[in-house]
Structure 1
Amino acid sequence: MWAGRAVFDILEPEDPRQVGRYRIVARIGAGGMGQVYLGRSPGGRPVALKVVRPELARDGEFRRRFAREVTAARRVNGAFTAGVVDADPEGSPAWLATVYVSGVSLGEAVSGHGPWAAGPVLALGAGLAEALEAIHAAGVVHRDLKPSNVLLASDGPRVIDFGISTASEASALTHTGMTIGTPGFMSPEQLTGGSIGPASDVFALGAVLAYTAAGVGPFGSGTPHALHFRAVYEQPDLGALPPGLREIVAACLAKEPDRRPTVADLLHRMAAPAGAEAAEATLSLTASDWMPDPVNRLVLARTATALPRAPGRIPDPAPPAAPTPTAPDVPAVPPGPTSDAVPAPPAPPGISSSPTAPAGADPATAGPRMDEAPTRTADHPAGGGIGRSEPAHEPADPEPLVHSYPAGTPPPMTRRGALLALTGTALAAGAVVAVWKTSDGGSGSVGSPSAVGSSARRPVRTTPPPHRNPGEQIWAFTSGGEVHTSATVANGMVYFGSNDQSVYAVDAATGKQRWAVPTGNVVYSTPAVANGVLYVGTADNGLWALDAATGKKRWTFHTESLVNSSPALAAGVLYIGCDDERLYAVDAETGKQRWNFRCKKDGMVDEAPVVVNGTVYFGSDDNSLYALDATTGKKRWAFTTGDSVDLRPVVAGGRVYASSDRLYAVDAATGKQHWALTGQKYKIPGAGYRHFGAPTVAGGVVYVGDEIQYVFALDAATGKKRWTFDTGNSVLSAPTVAGGVVYVGSDAKNLYALDAVSGKKRWAFPTDAEVQVSPRVSGGVVYVGSNDYKVYAIQT
């Protein structure tokens, strides 16, 4: 509930200064269960820490249920959810800590910028469905999914406040007199005392998608009594929704629970292509442009002020900054001690924003839809915190105490970081659950305090940016060696490694170097960045943690051989492979090993693992694809291939896709093969038992290159070919899919942009050497390295 809050307040005399091992530095707000604070772990990591009210803590039944809920919540670990950081249900008082998350609520985004077009709504729905799938798999039912419980991040949505109750214990919550659910989003069975289960969350999901597409919930507005009556007895008003989306939402809002689709069904329906619009809607949520542009910029605007680090100190307001050419990645951290400050660059090409809706205006009519092209850039709307700008019928979250600012002073923005492993924060009425959405170093969620003054907002006018055509170079940075790692875009910087034995941080807007750190050997590991820390494997037999702002080393984890694998970060744990035939799990904060798994002989782990639903999937040179328990490192299954699995797998739709002597699709739960394909299937010249590159799955389609010269689009369920594109040389680059376009490099010395539906070339950008790494797309810019020693920024 408290992720993304707009305002902190200094501590009161009666507030604790230490809870467990966490130092309390500021107030965030208060809720039905108790007071929520911003805390710091011994290592400085920010946490949202909730201290239970004394009268509840004295209730033995409450403590028992609280402990059960925390235990259940620890099992939730999916693409858009994660787990609890720490808790002491038996403490005096009882408390729970979560990783702090800054973000923008869906309610605030829609209220301030109007309803969304069908494509982004379907993309949102796919992410929320996957989050619910992970929650339900742990035996938990959300029971209060609503716009203010959905955080928007550049790499996908985050469901928060889950873990209220398991279905079998739903009635126990009423023992404390708490009301669970929100009028307009509650299912009929919740309102009539029926059995509450996963289908209840499906109903709420349908209501959330309807709200996002229309700007108002499917049962309109009014008193809670009126909304309850319509939800139980009347049909929803879905007239404003386009046909394809309307059918999905209507199915979710069926009155009888057994007539609603399952979450798995919804994932298939929202990810399956149904024309260009639907295909585009469900393409990779890890791309920065999955949201409408104005919302994307709003997310970025919450990244300008650091979190408080000591009690009694509230961050000073940050000056307003124009959007950067790499939005949504506004510079997150100040320059290093030896760097000069970098002025804010002009707005990126092709970025525009709809005017902010006036206070009290109907979001459905206050501004243009997100598929239109307004011409002004507006400041973020009133209601900078989660739950501030919801529809009139949804109760607002409790207001935090407000730190006021002089009249005319722009309110402080917050800093929101990029994340490679997937996270979020959850604090619920029956139990408070954390979603591990990390933010960059010192980033916070200080934003516009809606309670301090006028609802009028002055538009920010910027100089029109220079026009660039798709495929046009913005900048190129030259390192001292071939660039064999994909770039990571975060904190307004582009991070990558080079064969000149260095890791670089380059300004994403200008291409100017911020810092470079020598590693003593070539770098094949793509960095991961979270919580202001950069993690990268090195060929000097180690995993390094560097300060993302300065490059200063924080810690080193030593291995017995080269670390060419890229790290994967999930729930505060780094998973990384090594040439010593092991996969390691390392604490991201301390650098201490949690466990390691030994592969078979000659089983080097060269590429990044993938962590989904509490399982780590990775390939090895021992001709195996593995699935391990993320918590214990115990093997769940191993699938044998005909050759080494030395490229990263991808997990989507309940399947693991991995390249070896063939392209395999394997059941993610059991390791059983669904299908396997060789080049002979495609009846193309030279097709045989060739190696494929690393696959990418988006919208029910597998995009993959091969070592000969082709890029394929295959049906993810069957492997049936949809289209083939001939690049003229080997394709070792893993495709990246964003905005209906497939970006892929080739040994033909080109970066290609292909239409995701038809495979037709949109443009090709020439380099001076092979492009063998996966491109990265952020804020309308594609970043890619080449063997010509350069990293390029290219207009999408």
Structure 2
Amino acid sequence: MKPLEAGDPIRLGPYRILAVLGEGGMGKVYVGQDGEGRAAAVKVLHPHLAHDTNLTQRFVREARMAQAVGGGSVARVLDARTEGGRPWIATEFLTGPTLADAVRSHGPLDEPAVRALAAGLAGALNDIHGAGLVHRDLKPANIVLTTTGPRVIDFGIARPEHGLTLTATGQVPVTPGYGAPEQVLGQRVGPPADVFSLGAVLVYAASGQHAYEGSHVAAVQYEVVHGEPRLDRVPPALRPLIGPCLAKDPASRPLPDRLVRAAAPPRGSERAWRHGAIAQDITAREHGLHRLTTLPGGAAPRPVSRRRLLTGLAVGGSVLAVGGGAAAWWGLSNRAGSGPFDIPAAVETPQAKVLDTQKGDYVLGETPAPLWSISSAVPADSPAPLPVRDVIVVAAPEGGIAARSVVDGTVRWTAAKAVAARRYLSLSDRLVAAADGDGSLVTFVASTGKPKWTAPADAAWLLAADDEAVYVVTGDRRVRSVGRSDGRIRWTVGVDADLGADAASRGLAARGRLVVTAADGTVVALDTADGRRVWDRRKQSDDGRAKVALSGRVLCVTGKNLTAVDVVDGKELWSAENPKPPNGTPVFWGPPTIHGDHVYATVLTFPLRYDLRTGRGTDWVFQTLIECDPPSPLVVQGNGLWSVTVNRTEGGINVVDLSEGNKTTWVFRIVRNPDRYWITADGNRVFLLDGTTLAALPVF
């Protein structure tokens, strides 16, 4: 640590700046201390770089990347802000030398310590890759040796697995001799690149020499791509562990969990961090930090009360998350209601009038006009409309997504960078979640469109959401959970089912289960806490994705049949008897709809109703709806059951009065696109997507 110099800040947010830890090309790292007396490492971008958009994006991304990693293997991010145009990041202060300092000061590590280091760093890579990230700059200077083991720092050029570049030139910074061959060549970089870097780190730890050397940078990088690593000074017993990590082909490098097992550190090897020269170094640094953070006379700084702290944050703390702008500022100390994870109150759903023939609202036997109808409101490939309180979310004709007023269909807000084809979700009727072109999650206040939090997710499309997380399908067809409270990736798992392409699979999350209906007809339930598979039902549908609906613990599944299962344990509760189709027509059950104590579903062309608890049919068949289109959603709104009937060229909407059993009340002959429609409902309105037309229909 070095004393402060002229031009160094005295205070950054809640941190009093005490000393300089180090300095690099992008900024300085200081020792900071908050009002409670806790130390932090505060990294600040150089003033002359603060106006460079690309660098500020990279700098702030570091906070986002580190925040996404759990498991305690990296330095925790405590705060991240911008003040006076100078972005800074505060992280947990790790007391100990870097691996680079330790080897320079004390020489190479012995074999047990190298094995302990390998196991610890491989575990850290598991945590990083499990969060969907690639560190990209693992090297001795970015590894801190603490009493609890090695910790990884500096996520300055970390990226999601699908990310390619950071800089304006398209060249990713590489530490010579530690970046993988594919990284040197500017090719796509995935988790195996970090394994290569780990191999180079272990060579240095075991021998005190770099795995690749040369007279200049270009010579070193040439050796990385074309030469062989220098393992001659690595103990022979460690070469089988280290050598495979340095394979030229990324596919030939071992996975981190395999490295944890292969390292096989002997019992007691963790004492390398608690005894001997490195432990003495850690102790000396702890004493130095104590002297620095204790006032003369041995008095620690006076703690700030929680009330005063909260008041100060409410007045002076600033955290801004910009979903569509040039950068996203992330932090943990947010003003009440203003931070990216502070969720606004849900607005009231404006209720439309329920029409009554007794009051002259419409003439019995005639169909009332739509409440509103807008042609060319959506592109031809818009996903299903999503009502969220006072808006309905659809794809925007010019690209992105749009939220239209449910009252009159006017556009309330748009988000140009959201990709509608990746789908969108309601988060507690307060936020709308979508994905941008990079697969990052972006969220907006439903009523106003104000951007909120953004998180890296590599989302090919969105599956479902509950109170805790948003669940997505990743680019490599895994399922991923992203926490709603912090934007961190909670877990990522493979699913033994074909999730398809182009948002072919869907999801439903409740009761601690994420139910995924895969493109191959399989239904899989995952534990939302850790992604563990709990139960599955294979081949529920012959023609693709099965359909599901949930009430309490009862999950109704349609496809080849209509079955009710317990969503928690997958136990079958009942199954409806399939009708005997004429001429051997395959049986197909359409999407189920649950309303009250009943579940409705269409089989062949008949909408049927069953008791949700017992599965007993009510002998209630809508004889007047024999032309109901089986794939049509069934919607209950007001006193009616709504469905679509089509022929080859056009169609209409049939509305059955539920109170009278089988009486067709209204027929809207307005569907012009029989192969491109959807209906949904909320607030006494039924919304119809008909090709590129969006309309709202009244209810009775």
TM-score range, shorter chain: 0.3 to 0.5
Higher CA-based Rg: 2
Point out which structure has higher relative CO (alpha carbons under 8 A, 6+ apart). Answer: 1
Structure with higher helix content: 2
**Structure holding more strand per residue:** 2
